[in-house]
Structure 1
Amino acid sequence: MENSTTPAKHALSYGVTFGVVLVLEFMLMYALNIDTNENAWAGIVMNLLNYVVLPFVLIYTAANKFKKEISEGFLSLSQTLKIGVSITVLAALIYGVFYIIFDLIFPEFKEELFEKIQEIAVKQNPSTTAEQLKMSMKFVKIFMNPYVAVPFTIVMYAVIGLIHSLIVGVILKKDKPVFE
């Protein structure tokens, strides 16, 4: 009997785990009032975790488990890509839904963040004219809108998943022999 677990189905629990970690991380940073713009180390750690460490570890773990437990020791690059992109897109979807709900519950969050970003922009470049500042803040406001930020986040994490999956796929790839 052939196993019906697809790479994407196998990735489901890893994607949910990653999504929950992203949500908990956001909530923790908000609850502790940690500003990654003021605390550079927090920003560096968050970015490394969210874009490098967690995606790579989860994709590697999921692909390796799929290879050993489901695919009889074989793993193709396309299977790894399905696993990795599924994990990161699912995580981004979970985070996106949370962000939309968070925005509905705490609408003042965006305004506070916008003011902080504006202060930082003026502090970093005091020679900016009022018109330049207004134009740049217009773009910031557009990308702070959850209905713009969420699709952008999903696409960004899909690309991150693709890159990590290619790396993991090259490491773990083992094709089935053509003739047995």
Structure 2
Amino acid sequence: MEETTISTKKNILNYGLILGLTWVVYGLIRHITDNRTSTSWGIVIIELFIHVTIIVYGIYTYKRANNGFLKLSQALKIGLGVALIATIIYVIWDIFLLKIISPETMYELIKSSNQLSENESINEDTIMSRESNFLFTTSLASIIFYSILGGLISLLGGAIMQKNRDTF
């Protein structure tokens, strides 16, 4: 029997784009329903479900295309790649939303994160400085958090689905 392995790049790109676009649509729905700044357990569960489902399905389709074989390292590579591509797409969407579509939402988020006190006099330089600092901080935190989450999801999913080729 001939041993062939399928490249993980195509899978990573496909499911990274799917997850990223799903996050953009989800973010747009949250923005339209004016639910952008609120968090609840329901929202957290929905977001975790989206993340887990698409990453695990991406790993599963790779395993199916690879004749039912999957190494843990391949699952980790796919999961981290999908999470990283999706997070970059979502961060770009978030910056576009907060800078162009709805700048008042950024002000609400800065205010809710206690970076801005109620009585503080605000000049243009202070606002610009806090906006760029806020965007950089949230973007970096998103990339780190969702990459770690994608790694954990792919580690668990890969450990469950792994099947190595027989050496004999």
TM-score w.r.t. structure 2 length?
A: 0.78
CA contact (8 A) 1:7 1:80 kept: no
With over 3 angstroms needed to count, the CA separation of the structure-2 counterparts of 1:115 and 1:143, relative to structure 1, is same
Does 2:150 align with 1:161? yes
With over 3 angstroms needed to count, the CA separation of the structure-2 counterparts of 1:65 and 1:19, relative to structure 1, is same
Structure 2's unaligned 5+ residue stretches are 120-129
CA contact (8 A) 1:67 1:73 kept: yes
Corresponding letter in the other structure for 2:70: L
1:71-150 paired onto structure 2 within 5 Å: 71-105=66-100, 106-116=102-112, 118=114, 145-150=134-139
CA contact (8 A) 1:8 1:82 kept: no
Corresponding letter in the other structure for 1:177: D
Does 2:137 align with 1:152? no
With over 3 angstroms needed to count, the CA separation of the structure-2 counterparts of 1:109 and 1:144, relative to structure 1, is farther
% same residue: 25
Alignment RMSD: 2.7
Residue number in structure 2 paired with 1:29? 30
CA contact (8 A) 1:143 1:149 kept: no
Structure 1's unaligned 5+ residue stretches are 123-129, 131-140
Q: Of 61, 68, 78, which residue of structure 2 is paired with 1:65?
A: 61
CA offset at residue 4 of structure 1? 7.3
CA contact (8 A) 2:110 2:134 kept: no
TM-score w.r.t. structure 1 length?
A: 0.74
Q: What is the total number of aligned residue pairs between the two structures?
A: 154
With over 3 angstroms needed to count, the CA separation of the structure-2 counterparts of 1:103 and 1:142, relative to structure 1, is closer
